[in-house]
Structure 1
């Protein structure tokens, strides 16, 4: 696609991944320790009007933070394996 966010999402240097990871961590830090966020919160913060294009990159960033031991991904309040999670997810600080 020709819009800036799609092109940025495909950059090999990982800058969008790092920006989304940092945004996820900042959003969680600004909330209560027991709170969760949706990947769309990070996508909206980074992508503005084109946030929908960043939903899969935001989910990917969350999975990378799980791998780094920073966060957990939940569905229905239970921790799930990010590799197999389908449908809506939430992100929380690791407990």
Structure 2
């Protein structure tokens, strides 16, 4: 069920990245990332209302790799999420500390 929902999210992000090239390599200041994403979403919605043609779906280069593994149970899912969150937090801390 999660994989079905994930594919909807991936397609939505692909549409946004296809329409707004700035999102393909989001190279703005950390403080401007949320505003940039929201602005692109609002503009995308306005394009939808104006019936602009849909953009070509953007595919991230790493999406052609192996599919995400399916976890056996909720406990392993929790620990996988914990380790992923910790890795992301460590990476962010390292990036901010090196400035």
**TM-score (ref. length: structure 1):** 0.28
Structure with greater proportional strand content: 1
**TM-score (ref. length: structure 2):** 0.27
Structure with greater proportional helix content: 2
Instruction: Work out which of the two has the higher radius of gyration on C-alpha atoms and give 1 or 2.
Output: 2
